[in-house]
Amino acid sequence: MIDDSEVETPGDCHLETWVTDTSVDTLHLNAGLGCTPEAVPTLELGVFAGHTSVPGSDETVIGVTPKLTLRPAETGLGIAVAGSLGYGIDRSRLETASLIGAITVPATESLNINVNAGWVWTKAGVGSELFVGAQAEWAVTPSFTVVAEGFTRNHDKAGGQAGVRWTPGGRWVDFDLLAARYGDGATPTSVTVGLTIRH
C-alpha cells in the first residue's frame, strides 16, 4: 500500500500482480503495468485492472496510475507525486481516485524509509478520506527484503501489514507474501501474494 518515490528504470516496464484473500470472504485480484519512457525519465505511466469478488457480487475496475519523481532518492531525500483514477465497468462510473505525495529516505545502504500522505476517494465507500502511512524496507540480502508498514485514514481503523519479498537474481522478478491487519480500515485480517516481472 505504501509507495516509494522512485519510478521504473527509464526504458523499462514492469507487470505487477497480486491477490488478496480476506477474513470476510472477499477476494481481490489486481494487475498493473507501469513504464517509464527514456524521453521523460522522471515519469512513470501506469494502467491497472482490478477485480473484487464478495459473496453475491463481483466488481471490475480499470484505471490509470501515473507517478512523477520530483527529486530522486539518491540525493538523500526522494520526493514524488502519484495519482490514480479507477472506472467501474459494471456500474459504468468513476469508482476511485487518489493523489498521494511520496517521500523516500535512504536511512542506510540496506534500509529505506518511505512516507506517504494524501487524499483518496471511493464512490461506494465513505467518499473522501485523508491518508498517511510509513514503511520500512530492509534488504537483508540482495535477494531478500523484509517490509513493514502502518497507515491510517480519517475514517475506520488504523492498519498495517508486514511480510517478505524475494527477488531471485536481485533484479527482474519479485515474489511478495504479506499479512495485514485492517488493511482497508475495516477488514480484520488479510493475506496478499504478489508477483512482479520487469523487462
Question: Grid coordinates 520530483 are at which residue?
Answer: 70
DSSP helix, strand, coil percent of the chain (3-state; round to 5): 5, 65, 30
The answer to whether 181 touches 159, Cβ cutoff 8 Å, is: yes
Closest CA to 42 of 80, 4, 68: 68
Residue 55, pLDDT > 90, answer: no
d(CA 17, CA 49): 10
Cross-strand pairs, 97 = 85, 121
Domain boundaries, the chain: 13-198
Spell out the residues 6+ positions from residue 131 whose beta carbon is closer than 8 angstroms to its own: 98, 100, 116, 117, 118, 119, 120, 151, 152, 153
Give mean pLDDT, residues 43-54.
Answer: 97
Class in CATH terms, 13-198: mainly beta
What is the β-pairing status of strands 43-54 and 27-35?
antiparallel
Cβ–Cβ contacts within 10 Å for residue 92, how many? Answer: 7
The answer to whether 51 touches 32, Cβ cutoff 8 Å, is: no
Give mean pLDDT, residues 108-133.
Answer: 94
pLDDT at 125: 79
pLDDT tens digits for range 2-48: 999 999 999 999 999 999 999 999 999 999 999 999 999 999 999 99
- In the structure, what pLDDT confidence band is assigned to residue 171 with cuts at 50, 70 and 90? confident
Q: To the nearest whole number, what is the mean pLDDT of the chain?
A: 96
* DSSP 8-state code for residue 8: P
pLDDT tens digits for range 139-153: 999 999 999 999 999
Residue 57, pLDDT > 90, answer: no
